[in-house]
Structure 1
Amino acid sequence: MRPTALALCLSAVLSAFASTLPAGAQQRFPSSAGELVVETVAGGLENPWGLAFLPDGRMLVTERPGRLRLVSASGELSRPITGVPSVMARGQGGLLDVALDPNFAQNRQIYLSFAEPRAGGNGTSVAKARLSANGTALEGLSVIFRQMPTINSNMHFGSRLVFDRTGALFVTVGDRYSQRDQAQNPANHLGKVLRISTDGGAAPGNPKKEGWAPEIWSIGHRNVQGAALHPESGQLWTAEHGARGGDEVNAPKAGLNYGWPVITYGIDYSGVKIGEGTSKPGMEQPLFYWDPSIAPSGAAFYTGAVWPAWKNSLFVGALAGQMLVRLSTSGEAVTGEERLLTTISERIRDVRQGPDGFLYLLSDDAGGKILRVRPAR
C-alpha cells in the first residue's frame, strides 16, 4: 500500500498573480500564516546554487559556473572571491553548495562542494578553505574528499553539505545518472549519503558494515539536493529527486538502504518501470513523496519567531515545480503539505532561514536572484 504521502501531495494549491521578479520588485502570495511578500534582495547572479549566512548577516553565495560571492544584507554583490577551486561547469555540474564550519567565528573555515574535473571524467568533491579577514579571498584551500569512482557524466552530483551536532559533515552524492544500479553497492560513493570529519576521513559513529566504504552513512539514493537537520531531534532529513515521479523526503539513518533503484514511486523518463515496485523487505519507505515530480532542491526547517504556526515545518524549493513547499511535521512524520508561491515563475534552488527569521530563496537561472519571503506589513 502507498504511504499517506500520496494523499498529502494532492492537497490544494495556493495561487496568486503570475510574474517574474525584477530587481527591487515585490509580489504578494496567500498562505496559511497570512499574506506573504516576496522581494528581491539581489539580482545578477548566474545560476546561484548554495547560500550560507555569515555571523554578521552577510551571505556567501555560490554560482554554478564557478564563482563565490559575498552579498551584503542590502543586496550588494562583491567581486568574485579568489581562490575558489576549478570546477567542471557543464550540465548539472559546477560550484555547488557552501557551508560554514561550526567554529567559523574562530577559524573562518568554509566548505564547498563542486563537480571536480578529473582524468577520465569528474565527480563530486569537497574542499575547505579559510575566508580571508576582508572577505575577498579563500586561503589555504584543500580538497578533503573525492567521490569515487570518477565517472564521465554531467549529471546527478547531489551535493548538499550539512554539519551535524557532533561536528561531522553530511555530504550527499548522486548516482551520476548512468550508474544508478551502483546506488546499491556500498563499496563506492555513488548514490549515497556520506558522513565525514573535517579532514575528509570517515566520521566517528558511522556504520561499520562489512563491504561498506567507511564514509557511507546510508545507501540507495538517487540525487539528494536538499538536506537539513531537524531542529529538535538533530536527525538529518533529505529531499531527493526521483525520475518521473517518486521525489522523496527521507530521514536517513546509519546503515540503512533507501531503495533506489530497486524500489521507487517513479517511472523512467521513457515511461518504463524502474526496479521491482514500491516496497521490498530491508529497504526503507520515504516519509513523503511527490508524484508527479516537483524536482525538489534546497531544504530548511523553520525555527524562527516570525511565523510561530510554522515551527518545525520543512521548507523545500522546487525547480520544475517552480514553487516553495511547506511540509508540516510531528516528530519523524510529515503531517501535511502546503504549496506556496505557486505562480512565482522561478526555479527555487536553495532555501535558508535568515537571522531575521525570514526565508531566503535562490532562483536558479542565468539571471538568478536572492529572494526574501516575509509577512505583509
Structure 2
Amino acid sequence: MTMISKLSPALFPASILLASCGATAHVDTGPAAADVAVEEVATYERPWAAAFVPGTEVLVITLKAGELRGIDTATGRQFVITGAPQVDFGGQGGLGDVAFLPSEAAETVGSRTIYLSWAEAGENDTRGAVVGRGTLNCVAGGDCAVEGLKVIWRQAPKVTGRGHYSHRIRFSPDERYMFVASGDRQKMQPAQDTTNTLGSIVRLNLDGSPAEGNPLASEGGVTAQIWSWGHRNILGMDWDAEVRLWEVEHGPAGGDELNLVKPGANYGWPERSFGEHYNGDPIPDHAADDGFAQPAAHWTPVIAPSDMIFYRGDMFGGWKGDALITGLGSEALVRVEIDGETAHEAARFPIGGRLRSIDEGPDGALWVLEDGEGARLLKVTPK
C-alpha cells in the first residue's frame, strides 16, 4: 500500500507531493509528463459522463441539468438526443452516468440498450440516485432518441441533501451483472449499516434485481443487493485485465482512495480514513489490524478523483493495464500502475481545468470532459 503524508505541503518538495509516497512510489515529473497533446473538440454545460455507443465513433454525453448530447467524433457533428429523464438538478445531483453493453457493437446503426443514472426527487425534500434502462434508437447519419426508459434500481433510502450520489455504472466483463456505486449521501454512518444501500457498491442483474451469490443475499431486502460497503463517494469504477473491479473515491479533507473491490469487504468509512473531517476533527487512519479492507493507494493532498478507466489500447505505448484517473481539484490526468493488490501513482499530466470524466475511444485516444459551465471536451493523444 502506498500513501502520501498528511503533513503540511510546505514541508515537502513538489515532486514528493505529486506522488503516493512509499518505497515503490514513483512519479514522472520530467519531460514524459508533458508528452501528451490536448485538442479542444467541443464545449458543454455541466457535463457529467460520456460513453461511446458500441461499434460506433459516436460519444453520448450527459449534462447534469437533464439533457443528453451526441457527437460523432469522426466527423464532429453534434446533436441533441431526446428522451432524457426528469432529474432533480442541484448541488452534485442531476443526470449522471451513461453506460452501454459492449456486446451490442455488431450493428453500426439502429438500437442499443442504454443505462442512465440520475438524482430523483422524493417526499419531504428527499432525493436519491436511480438507474434506468431504455433503448437508444439512432438513424444512419442522423439523430438519436432514448425510448422506453424505466427505473430499474433506486438507492435506499432517499434522504435530504444534494451530495455524494456516486451513481457510477459498470458491467461485469461477461455482461451478466451490473455494478452501481451508491454514495453515502454525506450522511456518513449509513455506510456502516447494511440495512440500506448508502455508502456501498451493489451487484445487480441487468434488470436491476439483486444478483445471486451476493455476500448478504440471505438477509433479503435491499441488503441482498450489497457487494461491498464502507465507501464514501465513489466516482470511478473499472475492471482490470485480471477481471478485478477497482474503484476510486473521495476522502474527506485528505485520504482519497483507490480500492480493489472484494465481495463482502468493508472499506471503513467513516470509522477509518487517511483524511480528517473538514472541521479538523481527526479520523483514525487505516491499520492492518483494524478489520477493514485497506486502500491500494491513497492521496493527501487529494487528487479529487472524478472518473477512472483501465487503459486497453495501443496508442499510448506502455500504458496498457494502467489506471487513468481524472481529477477535479488536481486538474490533472493521473496514471496509476497496479502491482498485485497495491498501486502507485506513476505520472501526472496537468490539463489546466477541473476534469469530470474520461473514456477511451475506438482507436485508443482518450476523451476527457471538463467540469462546470462551458466545459471542454478534449481529445488527448501522444505528442
**Residue among 120, 133, 137 paired with 1:132:** 137
CA distance, structure 2, for counterparts of residue 4 and residue 337 of structure 1 = 12
In structure 1, the gaps of 5 or more residues are 16-29
SS, match of residue 309 in structure 1: coil
SS, match of residue 104 in structure 1: helix
CA distance, structure 1, for counterparts of residue 245 and residue 355 of structure 2 = 21
CA distance, structure 2, for counterparts of residue 210 and residue 265 of structure 1 = 33
CA distance, structure 2, for counterparts of residue 128 and residue 200 of structure 1 = 9
Which residue matches 2:277? Answer: 268
CA distance, structure 2, for counterparts of residue 217 and residue 71 of structure 1 = 35
Contact 2:38–2:381 under 8 Å retained in 1? yes
Correspondence 1:207-286 to 2 at 5 A: 207-208=215-216, 211=219, 213-230=223-240, 232-274=241-283, 276-279=284-287, 280-286=289-295
**Residue among 143, 150, 162 paired with 2:151:** 143
For structure 1, which segment, 114-123 or 85-94, has the greater mean C-alpha deviation from structure 2 after superposition? Answer: 114-123
SS, match of residue 31 in structure 1: helix
Moved over 6 A (4+): none
Q: TM-score scaled to structure 1, two decimals?
A: 0.89
Which residue matches 2:9? Answer: none
Which residue matches 2:333? Answer: 324
Contact 2:308–2:357 under 8 Å retained in 1? yes
Which residue matches 1:109? Answer: 113
CA distance, structure 2, for counterparts of residue 133 and residue 291 of structure 1 = 45
CA distance, structure 2, for counterparts of residue 290 and residue 215 of structure 1 = 30
CA distance, structure 1, for counterparts of residue 184 and residue 242 of structure 2 = 28
CA distance, structure 2, for counterparts of residue 288 and residue 132 of structure 1 = 41
CA distance, structure 1, for counterparts of residue 132 and residue 152 of structure 2 = 5
Q: Deviation digits for residues 101-150 of structure 1, max 9, x if unmatched?
A: 24434651110011111223110100011011334311111000000101
Which residue matches 2:303? Answer: 294
In structure 2, the gaps of 5 or more residues are 5-15
Which residue matches 1:24? Answer: none
Q: Which has the higher strand share?
A: 2
**Residue among 160, 163, 166 paired with 1:155:** 163
CA drift at 1:65: 0.8
Which residue matches 1:76? Answer: 77
Which residue matches 2:122? Answer: 118
**Number of residues of Structure 1 aligned to a counterpart in Structure 2:** 352
Q: TM-score scaled to structure 2, two decimals?
A: 0.87
CA distance, structure 2, for counterparts of residue 170 and residue 76 of structure 1 = 32
Q: Which amino acid aligns with 2:101?
A: D
CA drift at 1:13: 6.8
For structure 1, which segment, 117-126 or 205-214, has the greater mean C-alpha deviation from structure 2 after superposition? Answer: 205-214
Which residue matches 2:59? Answer: 59
Sequence identity percentage: 38
Q: Which amino acid aligns with 1:264?
A: S
Contact 2:334–2:345 under 8 Å retained in 1? no
CA drift at 1:12: 4.9
CA distance, structure 2, for counterparts of residue 363 and residue 335 of structure 1 = 24
